[in-house]
Chain A
Amino acid sequence: MKLEIKNVTKTFREKIAVNNFSMKLKPGECVGLIGPNGAGKSTLIKVIADIIDPQAGEVLLNGKKISKMKREIGYLPQYPNFFHWMTAKETLTFMGQLSGLQKKELTISIPEILTKVGLKGEENSKVGTFSGGMKQRLGIAQALLHKPSLIIMDEPVSALDPIGRREVLNLIEEIKKDTTILLSTHILGDAEEICERFVIIKNGTKIEDTTITELLNRNSKNKIYVEITAKDQEWIDVVKKLPFVEEIEVIGHKVKIIVENIDKNKNVILENALEHEVDIVKFEIHNDTLEEIFLKLVVGNE
């Protein structure tokens, strides 16, 4: 289903958590909501899940208010908490019935979904005895149980160990085929793996809405990465004066040089370095990793 977020603003007293945020999700799309801690991801997710009301703006699912479409939403909170005295099966029965499923359907679908999330054999264990990863999987199970057309996940893998993360990511990869997914995370690698599209949020404002390839292309500026020794620091000033050099960034002994045209300029710089008898440790053409792009976007325009 089509999800539309229109000019959502949410403030807590003076603090603006989400600022005039708009976004559209096409049916079947998987979107990663990325931002540093405190960027307003969770607040936005809660607004979309209709847990908190925004001060302004609205969230529409297929053109209808989200509060009227709860049947179609599967929600996984950041720290899924269940009644500790219920067993896994009871929890799913309870949540399923609240979503309007009949007991008959549930007797078939609950064992299925428990197998899918890897909790087979734990049907009758109390949720109170579950580890964090198991709770997370149970959380995913309850979000999928009523076959919603939109699944909203708040930090689905951040609290898990590498093995649990791997499993949950594979699980999401699998359910991706059938539903629209919106998930938030502060770990770019996770989003990179499962989502085609990213929305980067910072201080409650959307600062980027793009696909991975676009982001990489746009940021693969012409960059040369030279590592030199301490005695050749003066050479940096020489390079700065070259006409085709646009920008220079120095981190310790590493120099990042952005030039007009990498194909033409890279050899000139190398020649120039040899001319000045620079002790080159490393000379390479460099593309920013997603991590770097992310950091630049989030920390950069402070």
Chain B
Amino acid sequence: MNKFIVLLKKEFVQMLRDLKVIWLPIVFIFLGITQPIVTYYLPSILGALGGGQGITIDPSMTAQKGGEVLAATLGSQFDQLGFMILVISMMGIIQTDKANGMLAFILTRPVTVISYIAGKIVSNYLIAAFSVTIGYFVSYLYVNYLFTDVSFSHMITALLFYLVWVLFIVSFTTMISTIFNSQGIIALISIVFLIGCRIIVGLSPVIDFVNSASMSKHAMEVLISGSVNSKAIDNALVTLFWIVLILFVINYWIANKKVNHE
């Protein structure tokens, strides 16, 4: 436990020095602002630039409910550009330590692999969750200002669901970073796999049940319809199961010294 705190602290100091604690939240704040602002002003922007001739703008577009816009922030901003940035910011999470020998070096100390992994995932999850939450709150404020109000409890419920999906993103990227040695490959595999997960959401109920990306859909549903899908809790449990499995794989991979491939 003590070693875990030491490693956790080191991760935080590193993020502070890399200024990751500043730029990652800023990125998400921008993404959070984009959706409500663009949705609100798009008709006037188009009107001003397009000359207004021959363009008909569906009036329902500006008449969107606040919940729908906030859901679009999750679905169109965070789930696309947002998580790509998240993955890219974390692709070296373990790979860097492997490449410069720090992983092997740290493990020559009386440190368990578990506390090493926990330090990595907890720190990176906290910064990711913090950034997503900040961006989401800013989006919430703009939505409430420009569109109809979204109830606070719905907003929080949706956020909690979404953060489960974020935990899955962090763990999955960590696993890929443990197994592969090139940052490009790590980013590619993580992004393709996670986008794939997100795209197939809604295709079939069976896939949705085991697909962690459904958590994002459940979050959006809460915002749009105001009711919690009964499958959401099951889905959260399945996601937690995947995360435990992922942690097991990472632990197995490092503890069996597969990382020393030279």
Which of A's residues lie within 8 Å of B, judged by CB?
12, 46, 49-53, 70-71, 73, 75, 77, 79-83, 85, 90, 94-95, 97-100
Contacts and interface: CB of A to CB of B under 8 A. Distances in A.
Interface string B102-133: 10111111110000000000000000000000
A181 B75 CA distance: 59
B108 A70 contact: yes
B6 A77 contact: no
Contacts of B13: 90
Given A83-B102, A98-B6, A51 B107 contact: yes
A53 B259 CA distance: 11
Contacts of A73: 108
B231 interface: no
Contacts of A98: 3, 6-7, 106, 109-111
Give the interface centre of B6, B100, B262 by most chain A CB atoms within 10 Å: B6
23 contacts: A70-B108, A70-B110, A73-B108, A75-B108, A77-B101, A77-B104, A79-B101, A80-B105, A82-B102, A83-B10, A83-B14, A85-B14, A85-B18, A90-B13, A94-B6, A97-B2, A97-B3, A97-B6, A98-B106, A98-B109, A99-B109, A100-B3, A100-B110
Contacts of A81: 100-102, 105
Contacts of A94: 6, 10
B229 interface: no
Nearest to B107: A51
Contacts of B2: 97, 100
Chain B interface mostly: helix
B163 to A, nearest CB: 29
A52 B260 CA distance: 7
Contacts of B256: 53
Contacts of A85: 14, 17-18
Nearest to A146: B109
Interface of B: 2-3, 6-7, 10, 13-14, 17-18, 100-102, 104-111, 256-257, 260, 262
A293 to B, nearest CB: 31
Given A94-B6, A94-B10, A53 B108 contact: no
B27 to A, nearest CB: 21
Contacts of A83: 10, 14, 102
A58 B255 CA distance: 17
A269 B64 CA distance: 111
Nearest to B261: A12
B254 to A, nearest CB: 11
A95 B3 CA distance: 10
A156 to B, nearest CB: 15
Give the interface centre of B2, B108, B110 by most chain A CB atoms within 10 Å: B108
Contact of B260 (A51, A71, A75, A79): A51
Contacts of A52: 257, 260
Contacts of A71: 110
A46 B109 CA distance: 13
Contacts of A46: 104, 260
Nearest to A139: B105
A21 B13 CA distance: 43
A288 B123 CA distance: 60
B255 to A, nearest CB: 10
Nearest to A99: B109
Ranked nearest first, the 7 interchain pairs of A and B with the lowest CB-CB distance are A98-B109, A70-B110, A97-B6, A75-B108, A51-B104, A81-B100, A85-B17
A70 B113 CA distance: 13
A52 B10 CA distance: 25
Given A85-B17, A98-B109, A99-B109, A53 B257 contact: yes
B122 to A, nearest CB: 17
A95 B109 contact: yes
A261 B207 CA distance: 89
B96 to A, nearest CB: 10
Given A52-B260, A53-B257, A95-B109, 20 more contacts: A49-B108, A50-B107, A51-B104, A51-B257, A53-B256, A70-B108, A70-B109, A75-B105, A75-B108, A77-B105, A79-B101, A85-B14, A90-B13, A97-B3, A98-B6, A98-B7, A98-B111, A99-B109, A100-B2, A100-B3
Contacts of A82: 102
A99 B110 contact: yes
A56 B73 CA distance: 56
B8 to A, nearest CB: 12
A109 to B, nearest CB: 16
